[in-house]
A and B are shown apart, each in its own frame.
Chain A
Amino acid sequence: MTSDILTATAADLGRRIAARELTAVQVAEAFLAQIERVDDDVHAFLHVDAAGARAQAAAVDAKLDAGEQLGPLAGVPIAVKDLFCQAGVPTTAASKILEGWRPPYSATVVQRLLDAGLVVLGKTNLDEFAMGSSTETSAFGPTRNPWDLDRIPGGSGGGSAAALASFEAPLAIGTDTGGSIRQPGAVTGTVGVKPTYGGVSRYGVIAMASSLDQPGPCARTVLDAALLHEVIAGHDPMDSTSIDAPVPPVVEAARSGDIAGLRVGVVKELGGEGYEPGVELRFREAVAALEAAGAEVVEVSCPHFTYALGAYYLIMPSEVSSNLARYDAMRYGLRVGDDGTRSTEEVMNLTRAAGLGAEAKRRIIIGTYALSSGYYDAYYGSAQKVRTLISRDFDAAFEQVDVLVSPSTPTTAFLVGEKLSDPLAMYKSDLCTIPSNMAGNTAGSFPIGVAPEDGMPVGLQVMAPPQADDRVYRVGAALEKAFGGALTDRIATRWVEA
């Protein structure tokens, strides 16, 4: 019974809870027990809110027993990246500087989850302030990849992705600034979608790079991701960059998966040198599967994508240096060295030295440099121009095709420790995902099998124009159909006791 709950889709759990075949409390207990059993190995969670989850589940059961009609995911548990404020629940951004902090309010995304009856199991691990591609920069230790515990689960949202792949949660929430939903999705064999910038509210999400950050859904199946997308998306007056327009019909697209006549462009620049043969092999097979399902496939060139990584590693740190200035030891968070003799500035210096990790420091310093007078035009100014050129590449491409595709990542999951001492090698993990953040497009990663070399999952990225999120799900659903269901089914017996 329990094993059947753990491996079920969120859509199925929601249906069975609504039909009163299962109670929300029963489902929450099953996942809490699974977390208890496996999280010492996986370390997907920074905080498990067992009491909160039980109370939320009981409240959903009470409403359903009273005959109230709730949404399709009512009673379904979810794991939330520890970058989202949840009132009264510890929120750290995986940084020592926020250790022990309990936010006084909830992010809009969290509030919408609770309002829709989802049960928040806890907060998942991430790279510190979402800065990384492996979850190794977390101040609280790395998360492991459930496909191979010696490997990274991607980042920054490695905790959310690993929670899904180890069946600790049927749904999760992530944020994507340069690939932090899609890259973990790809390397753990799960589904992750970055909505159109402005599609999901950033209110209450701890900011890394505000012009790029975008919350989004993580799941094991395409339909589950779409159902979650629908819960969290839509206009929020508390976020001035929130789009005031109807949410694209993502659930309908995920149910259909019909891609007959859809024009699919393979991005020429996202492949070749630096891409693992196993990744390229699976990608070619997946493109052939799309063609077999009725898509028209052509090659498309986006010449400025080559410069995207460089522009990203100037724009993002510049925004980081500004956003992280708020951790000043005055109003909340860590304070170090306040002995009555030191000045405010000295206390700030000592607190930020002790509370921020190496990658956060690197990015703050690069950003400070890129924005300093004399260097601004050459660095930040040039990067902003490249952003325009990338956006124009997308515009031109989307005149020829409906969606663009590429591998989600150049390689499968690497070993824990392999790239931690080489920042530049780590940054290249996001080569394929960064352009969509720069332009504000929507993009998702979908599992397309495992690489023959190492047996690790490979993802295919689907990119679509702003507000065409439904196209991403449509292609994702077509892939899922072609590959016969969720890839994580292959490791279910490893993680779930019969």
Chain B
Amino acid sequence: MALSTADVARLAALARIELTEEELVRFAPELDTILEAVASVSEVADSDVPPMSHALPLTNVFREDVVRPGLLHEAALAAAPAVEEGRFRVPRILGEEA
């Protein structure tokens, strides 16, 4: 099952984390050891056991649909790295140069 540095690089890219070469070399064997240790779960996970996603037997929880005070515009923007015209300013999202 050995996890290669290429595998780790691909997973990190999916998770939007740019890893250095040094990190890739360090993480690959570490993550491999962890995955090996946790793989034992498949030994007892028979097909007749239902999966459990949550401790509470909840389905949907509803509340009344009423107007309440919410976060003010300025408060929501106060911690933004960049703001323009009362909105979050983000780097370009399209492939071409702006």
Residues of A that sit less than 8 Å from B by CB: 101-105, 197-198, 211, 237, 240-241, 243, 304, 307, 309-311, 313-314, 321, 325, 328-335, 338, 340-350, 352-353, 356, 358, 361-362, 364-366, 368-369, 372, 378-379, 381-389, 391, 423-424, 427, 438-440, 466
Contacts and interface: CB of A to CB of B under 8 A. Distances in A.
Nearest to B61: A240
Nearest to B47: A385
A331 B19 contact: no
A321 B72 CA distance: 29
A314 B37 CA distance: 11
A330 B81 contact: yes
A333 B16 contact: no
Q: Which 4 A/B pairs are nearest by Cβ-Cβ distance?
A: A440-B55, A384-B51, A335-B81, A382-B45
Contact of A352 (B17, B45, B53): B17
A332 B79 contact: yes
B97 A389 contact: no
B67 interface: no
B92 A364 contact: no
Question: Max chain A CB contacts within 10 Å: which of B50, B52, B82?
Answer: B52
A346 B56 CA distance: 39
Interface in B1-56: 3, 8, 11-20, 23, 27, 30-31, 33-35, 37-46, 49-56
B12 A333 contact: no
B80 to A, nearest CB: 6
A386 B44 contact: yes
15 contacts: A102-B78, A104-B76, A310-B41, A321-B15, A332-B81, A352-B18, A356-B17, A365-B12, A365-B27, A379-B38, A383-B41, A385-B44, A388-B51, A391-B55, A424-B37
A466 B57 CA distance: 12
B92 A344 contact: yes
B45 A385 contact: yes
A321 to B, nearest CB: 6
Given A388-B49, A440-B56, A344 B90 contact: yes
Contacts of A311: 38, 41
A347 B91 contact: yes
